[in-house]
Structure 1
Amino acid sequence: MKIYKFSKENGKKVEKYQSYLATYVKMIHTNEAATIGYMYIEEETVGYHEAPIPQLFIVAEGEGWVTGENQKRISIKRGEAVLWEKGEWHTSGSETGMTAIVIQSEELHPETFMERNKHA
Structure 2
Amino acid sequence: MTLRREAFLDHVRERGEYVTPEEADRAARVVLALLGAHLVGGVRAQLAARLPESFALILLNPLQSAEPLSPERFVRATAAWIEGATERTATWDVSAVLSTVADAAGEDLMGQILLQLPVGYDLLFGRPQQS
Q: The TM-score by the shorter chain falls in which range?
A: under 0.3
More strand by share: 1
TM-score (norm 2): 0.26
More helix by share: 2
Structure whose alpha-carbon radius of gyration is higher: 1
TM-score (norm 1): 0.27
The structure with higher relative contact order (CA 8 Å, sep 6+) is 1
